[in-house]
Amino acid sequence: MTNIDKKSKFKQEVLAYVLLIVGSALFAVGDVMFVNPYLMAPGGTYGLSNVFNTLWPWKISLYAICMDVPLLLIGTWILGPKFGFKTILSTALIFLFTFILESVWGYNPVIFDGKIVDAPIEGISMVQIPHNGGWFVPDYFLNTVVAGLIYGVAIGMIFRSGATSGGSDIISMILHKYTKISLGTLVMIVDGIITLSTLVAFGDIRLPIYSIIIIFIEGKVIDLVVDGMKSYKTMFIVTDELEAVRNYILNDLKRGGTCITGTGLYQGNERKMIYVTLDRADMVKLKSSLHLIDPKAFVNIMDSSEILGTGFKALPKD
C-alpha cells in the first residue's frame, strides 16, 4: 500500500469516527429533548426505554444499556461475531451522551406552545413532563417532524461510519435465523410492538401514530444521508431502432450502457436490449426521445439506490 493510500484510508477512518461520535450525540438529542417529553416510542431499545422511563422513573440510558448489553452478548452467541467494534462503540457513546443530556437537561421539551407550568390549565389539552412535575401545551406535529429529521440524520451518520444500530434489531436477526421471515418484516414487527406499547401504557391513540410518522421520516432521511441526494434510474430498453437509441445515449447524453442479446418468449426471435443507468434528468430526456425514435419500444425503468463504478461513485477500496 502506497503512502497516498495509507493517508486516504486514515482520513476515511477519522471521518468515520467523527460521523459515529456526532451521530451518537444527535441521537441522544432527538430522544431526550424531542421524543421522550412527548411520551413517544419510535422503535428500538431507546423507544422502549422511554416508556419504562415514564412508567417507572429511572434514566432512559440505564434502561437502554440494560437491554443493549445482553442483546449484544446473546446476538454474538447465537449469530456469531457480527457486531464489530464500531457498533459496540456506538452503543457506548449513545448511552454516554443520553446519560449526560438527561442529567443536565432533564426531560423538558424544546418545542411546545406556551410555558411550562406546575399544574394543568383548565380547558387546555396539556402533557405532563415525565418526572419534572411540569405541564406544557404540546405541538405534536412540529415536534414529530423535527424528531424524525434528527433521528434520521443521526442514524444515517452512524450507518455511514460503518456501525449498525444493534439494539432491538438483534432480536429481529435472531428471529430471522429461526423463522426465515424476511429481516425487514421482522424489524417492522418488533418496532411496531414497541411503538404500540405507548398506546397500552398511556391510552392515547395519537402516540403510536406520531411514533410511526417519526419512523417514516427517519427512514427517508437515513436514505438521503447514506445514499446522498442523487437519484439514479436503471432502464431496460427493447427496441427495433437499436442504433438510433444507442447513438442518442452515446452522443447526446454522453453516457455508456450495455447491449444484451435475448430471445423473445412469444415468437422466439432474437432481440437486442439496452441496459443503461442514468440520473433522473437524463432518464427523462431519454424517455421523451424514445417516443420520437421508436414509439413501440418496450421500456422498464427501476430505481437504483446505489451505483458504483466508472462514471458514478468509486468502488470502495476495502
**Three-state secondary structure readout of the chain:** CCHHHHHHHHHHHHHHHHHHHHHHHHHHHHHHHHHHHHCCCCCHHHHHHHHHHHHCCCCHHHHHHHHHHHHHHHHHHHHCCCCCHHHHHHHHHHHHHHHHHHHHCCCCCCCCEEEEECCCCCCCCCEECCCCCCEEECCHHHHHHHHHHHHHHHHHHHHHCCCCCCCCHHHHHHHHHHHCCCHHHHHHHHHHHHHHHHHHHHCCCHHHHHHHHHHHHHHHHHHHHHHCCCCEEEEEEECCCHHHHHHHHHHHCCCCCEEEEEECCCCCCEEEEEEEEEEHHHHHHHHHHHHHHCCCCEEEEEEECCCECCCCECCCCC
End-to-end CA distance of the chain: 12
CB-neighbour burial class of residue 274 (10 A; exposed 0-12, middle 13-18, buried 19+)? buried
Asked whether residue 168 falls in the same domain as residue 247, the answer is no
Tell whether 310 is covered by a domain: no
Tell whether 309 is covered by a domain: no
pLDDT of residue 285: 86
> In terms of residue numbers, what domain contains 241?
232-304
pLDDT of residue 254: 85
Asked whether residue 117 falls in the same domain as residue 58, the answer is yes
Asked whether residue 191 falls in the same domain as residue 238, the answer is no
- The dihedrals phi and psi of 73, each to the nearest 5 degrees, come to -65, -45
pLDDT of residue 82: 65
pLDDT of residue 183: 62
Asked whether residue 189 falls in the same domain as residue 132, the answer is yes
pLDDT of residue 280: 79
Asked whether residue 60 falls in the same domain as residue 207, the answer is yes
- Measured at the CA of 213, the angle between CA 212 and CA 214, to 5 degrees, comes to 90
pLDDT of residue 175: 82
Residue-by-residue pLDDT tens, the chain, 318 positions: 566 567 777 788 888 899 999 999 999 999 999 999 999 998 889 989 999 988 898 999 999 999 999 988 888 888 777 667 888 888 999 999 999 999 999 889 999 988 888 888 877 888 888 777 788 999 999 999 999 999 989 988 888 887 776 677 778 778 877 887 776 677 778 888 889 988 888 888 888 999 999 988 988 888 788 766 667 888 999 888 889 999 999 988 888 888 888 877 777 778 888 999 888 778 888 888 888 888 888 889 888 766 666 666 665 555
Asked whether residue 101 falls in the same domain as residue 172, the answer is yes
| Among candidate residues 170, 204, 227, the one where a domain is terminated | 227
Asked whether residue 208 falls in the same domain as residue 238, the answer is no
Asked whether residue 217 falls in the same domain as residue 298, the answer is no
Largest CA distance in the chain: 80
Q: In DSSP terms, which residues pair with 305 in a beta bridge?
A: none
Q: In DSSP terms, which residues pair with 33 in a beta bridge?
A: none
Asked whether residue 151 falls in the same domain as residue 238, the answer is no
Please report how many Cα atoms fall inside a 13 Å half-sphere around the Cα of residue 10, on the Cβ side. 7
| Among candidate residues 201, 227, 253, the one where a domain is terminated | 227
Q: Are 298 and 265 in contact (CB under 8 A)?
A: no
316/318 Cα distance (integer angstroms): 6
* Number of domains within the chain: 2
Q: Which amino acid would we find at residue 290? A: L
pLDDT of residue 189: 83
Q: Which residues make Cβ contacts (< 8 Å) with residue 282, sequence separation at least 6?
A: 253, 255
| Among candidate residues 189, 208, 227, the one where a domain is terminated | 227
pLDDT of residue 64: 93
Asked whether residue 145 falls in the same domain as residue 283, the answer is no
CA-wise closest residue to 44 among 1, 98, 122: 98
Tell whether 70 is covered by a domain: yes
- Measured at the CA of 206, the angle between CA 202 and CA 208, to 5 degrees, comes to 75
Tell whether 317 is covered by a domain: no
pLDDT of residue 309: 62
Q: Which amino acid would we find at residue 40? A: M
Indicate the pTM of the whole model. Answer: 0.76
Tell whether 178 is covered by a domain: yes
Asked whether residue 205 falls in the same domain as residue 246, the answer is no
